[in-house]
A and B are shown apart, each in its own frame.
Chain A
Amino acid sequence: ELKVEQNPLFLSMQEGKNYTIYCNYSTTSDRLYWYRQDPGKSLESLFVLLSNGAVKQEGRLMASLDTKARLSTLHITAAVHDLSATYFCAVQGGSEKLVFGKGTKLTVNP
């Protein structure tokens, strides 16, 4: 059974600082996704990572994938308040369903 673990679950950081969120998964995956969720809102797709060594960047967020280690990271550079949200990684492994991690609630303080 595919399991997805994220850490940390809660992250409070100062504006301007850098930090990394980690996502480990237990079995071979086809794709790994990062989603953002604002309170009470839906899930917004940020990145799709397909292959080992894949790296994608959008603004202050950069996601990478190491399929051998079964690890993805979401790196935040010079955080700003607007990045405050919950970030989920989700893995697709041999079926249609997405298996989500528990999410990382990010709070960026001025």
Chain B
Amino acid sequence: EPEVTQTPSHQVTQMGQEVILRCVPISNHLYFYWYRQILGQKVEFLVSFYNNEISEKSEIFDDQFSVERPDGSNFTLKIRSTKLEDSAMYFCASSVSRALETQYFGPGTRLLVL
């Protein structure tokens, strides 16, 4: 069964460093998302992406964040200058079509900022 994959599974970085989290969505899906979950808290929406553009973003998704689809398969989240409070599990998700379709989540990348 097709699934969303994410790399790395864990990432430890120093405050102020840049990190890139990578995702490979399900191949026939057109909508891509990033969510994050701070330890013990609820899952929060960051951004949605379609047709090489951001379609929606949350207040959390400020200028330190960016997303890109560099090729036909990968979808990346870049955090430019990491802060301690960026430590979280980051989930990528994808769906077949706009909005009203189930979003399938990847296994997540656990980011720890020291």
Contact = CB atoms under 8 A, between A and B. Distances in A.
Interface of A: 30-31, 33, 35, 41-45, 48, 88, 90, 92, 95-103
A88 B44 CA distance: 12
Interface string B78-100: 00000000000001000000111
A100 B100 contact: no
Q: How large is the interface on B (under 10, 10 to 19, 20 to 34, 35 or more residues)?
A: 20 to 34
Interface of B: 31, 33, 35, 41-45, 48, 55-56, 58, 91, 98-100, 102-108
Contacts of A48: 102
A48 B104 CA distance: 12
Query: Quick one: which of A30, A90, A97, A103 has the most chain B CB within 10 A?
Result: A97
